Amino acid sequence: MIEFIIENKLYVGYLMEFLAACAGTIHLLKVRNPRNGIKLFVGFLWFNFFYDLFGMYPIWAFYDNYQSAPFIKDTAFARNFWYYNNFYVIKYLLLSHLFILQLTHAESQGLRKILDRLKWVFLIYSIVCFASFGNYLYQYDYTVIIFGTFFLVGCIMGYLLQMLRTDQVLHFRSDLVFYIAIALILYELCIAPINIYAAYFNEGNMEFVQFYARILRYGNIYLYGMFIIGFLVTLRNARKTDTLA
């Protein structure tokens, strides 16, 4: 298992997740009045890190020859499709909520109500899909991923549109949510289509495994690297503000 992780450099993604969560925690400890929703976001980063660690159980079980978990051998739980189907729903709900919280200006209230309702529509659709016509245990539910991706991108666009319409745009460099938005919108539009082909991630398709792992590695470096930069830059700006005060 260790050889597989090192060969495919899977540790890079986990390291970036951990560093981003640490940077977020430091940000919360140092900034007096963090933006609305940032505590939620940092909590999500820690949740994401540990969830991904436990999500490696199929690799562990495979290389352990299922001695530690013989009850999952030759079952749907030998793969982690079900595990990440749950994760995608949680991820899109929490991240979209972060951007909905930013819609505080009067002209954005109509959009905020629409997105709030769509959030519940997405949750209900996901549950119905998993429980009925979806293939919850054996593959990623692509309709949920696509729905969630476009919903999240829509929430981000709503936030960016509000920024352009107000004087927030003058202070984008010190706005942590702006860094999060730019990181997520590019990542989601690039990585989500690749996840559709995750069913080919198996021992018989090692070329695809290596390609998939490489794309995720670079994607994670970009995504969590942007988060870290955002935390550090906005923390520095917050300290300058305190000094001037």
Q: What is the mean pLDDT of each run of 10 residues along the chain (245 residues)?
A: 62 91 95 89 97 85 76 84 93 97 92 96 94 79 91 96 88 90 93 70 67 85 96 82 38
Question: What is the rounded distance in angstroms from the CA atom of residue 185 to the CA atom of residue 107?
Answer: 23
Residue 177, pLDDT score? 95
Question: What is the rounded distance in angstroms from the CA atom of residue 235 to the CA atom of residue 51?
Answer: 27
Question: What is the rounded distance in angstroms from the CA atom of residue 129 to the CA atom of residue 199?
Answer: 18
Residue 48, pLDDT score? 96
Question: What is the rounded distance in angstroms from the CA atom of residue 236 to the CA atom of residue 37?
Answer: 19
Q: Are 141 and 148 in contact (CB under 8 A)?
A: no
What 3-state DSSP class applies to 120? helix
Closest C-alpha among 150, 163, 176 to residue 38: 176
Residue 162, pLDDT score? 94
CA distances from 190 to 70, 105, 187, 220, 227 (A): 37, 30, 5, 11, 17
Residue 241, pLDDT score? 52
Residue extents of the structural domains in the chain: 2-244
Residue 124, pLDDT score? 96
CA distances from 227 to 22, 86, 217, 222 (A): 11, 23, 15, 9
Residue 17, pLDDT score? 96
Phi-psi label, residue 24: left if phi above 0, alpha if psi -120 to 50, beta otherwise: alpha
Helix axes 142-165 and 109-131, enclosed angle (nearest 10): 170
- Residue 208, Cβ density class (10 Å: 0-12 exposed, 13-18 middle, ≥19 buried): middle
Residue 78, pLDDT score? 84
